[in-house]
Amino acid sequence: MDGFGDAEQALIARARRVLPAGSFGNFPAEIILRQGRGGRVWDVAGREYVDFLLGSGPMFLGHCHPEVDEAVRAQLDRGTTFFANNEHGIALAEAIVAALPCAEQLRFVGSGTEADLYAMRLARAFRGRDKILKFEGGYHGMSDHGLMSLAPKHLANFPRPVPDSAGIPKSVADDVLVAPFNDLAAVTRLVESQGEEIAGIIVEPLQRLIPPAPGFLEGLRELCTRHGLVLIFDEVVTGFRFAYGGAQSYYGVTPDLCTLGKIIGGGFPLAAVAGRADIMAHFDRALVGDAGFLMQVGTLSGNPVAAVAGLKTLEILRRPGTYEAAFATGRALMEGLSGLVARAGIPGQVVGEPPLFDLVFTDGPVPDYRATLRADRALQAHVNHRLRAGGILKGESKYYIAVAHAPRDVDQTLEAFAAAMGSLPAAAG
């Protein structure tokens, strides 16, 4: 393992003995981080990186925000989990309901996967129907229904789903319909032909990186209202990132349910499903009876440590200028990357919104998942590798922007990206 010291190699070897593929399943096994502060992280060898991974998004304020840390330390002396209600979880629920246009009530869970699973189950319980319509390339957690046509290795004819994992029962495919993102006409045809069997539509308002086309989300809203379907916005990523009111506020379209995660736990495991009270009533046996009751229990749901971290995070996000700073950083980096790839003469375009984007190496528009398959993935992998060597840490296909990122982080990233462009083989240019 070239470039790794003895201590790192020993840790990597230990991981391989006890972890499948030597990792937690999230990120390359050779990256072992020890510390984060602000918009930067350090690995076990002391290498410093500008961090655009941000724990896969939760650390929107940056690592070790002093006010969040102080709130967490105070709660640790009072208890770490109770299973019963706690005042901080109640206060956080109040703050989220006040912030999001769709939220009248919410139920806490432990992960985004759980939130999406329960949102789809709520739609089925509310409508008394089995089918869920989702979009090819959309990520809705690790449940059987969520892992249909996220990143299909072979492309099926719509609306047939393709399982993304071994171990998913074949019967699941019968209850999932798949449409191309940003194609309102295709969705309309599906709903008009099979609407009596469809409980709801689940969609990421920004699908991975791809923004909604003008009128697309509005069209989904109108279609769901007209046909009595439950519209679910998966805001695990976009919630409180695009605006304090989430992507539903940013894009101006209100769903019936939304799912939340990442930011609302302030770096601790916490997620939620929120929405209309008449749909959320299925969590209350006294209101809907045994036949309509949706059972949900989670040992750490509403955990007080996560709740105080989330409460403090939301308090900080409400302060004037917070979102403006993150958006300014994102725009500066987006513009810089666009200029560098243009000067290098390589097909590429920045796709996304200022808090969340990446540079996709393709010369055509990217309106949906299939368009991303035209991108030069080998070039993307090369650039990501070179960025890491230049002290820039990012996921395979995302720059997550933090409030803590500063102009020097943008400058270092653009310098590393320029070096990556200069390192390309002659054929790539």
Told to judge if 394 belongs to the known catalytic residues of this protein, a careful annotator would answer no
The whole-angstrom distance between residue 257's C-alpha and the CA centroid of its chain comes to: 16
Active-site annotation holds for 399:
no
Burial class (CB in 10 A: 0-12, 13-18, 19+), 42: middle
DSSP structure string for 177-195: EEE-TT-HHHHHHHHHHHG
Write out the E strands in 12-127: 33-37, 40-43, 48-51, 105-109
User: What distance in Å separates the CA atoms of residue 235 and residue 150, rounded to the nearest whole number?
Assistant: 16
Distance CA(143)–CA(114), nearest Å, equals: 8
Q: Is 323 a catalytic residue?
A: no
DSSP helix/strand/coil, 286? helix
Alpha carbon 284 to chain centroid, angstroms: 28
Residues linked to residue 131 through DSSP beta bridges, in sequence order: 198
Q: Taking Cα atoms as reference points, which of 122, 356, 154, 185 lies closest to residue 145?
A: 122
Please tell me which residue in 51, 116, 118, 139 is annotated as part of the active site: 139
Q: Please tell me the distance from the alpha carbon of residue 371 to that of residue 196, in angstroms, as a whole number.
A: 31
Listed in order, strand segments (DSSP E) in 73-130 are: 105-109
Q: Pick the catalytic residue from 51, 116, 175, 234.
A: 234
- List C-alpha distances in Å: 350 to 55, 151, 360: 22, 20, 6
Query: How many angstroms separate the CA atoms of 282 and 284, rounded?
Result: 5
Q: Active site residue: 262, 312, 394, 398, which one?
A: 262
**Catalytic site positions:** 139, 234, 262
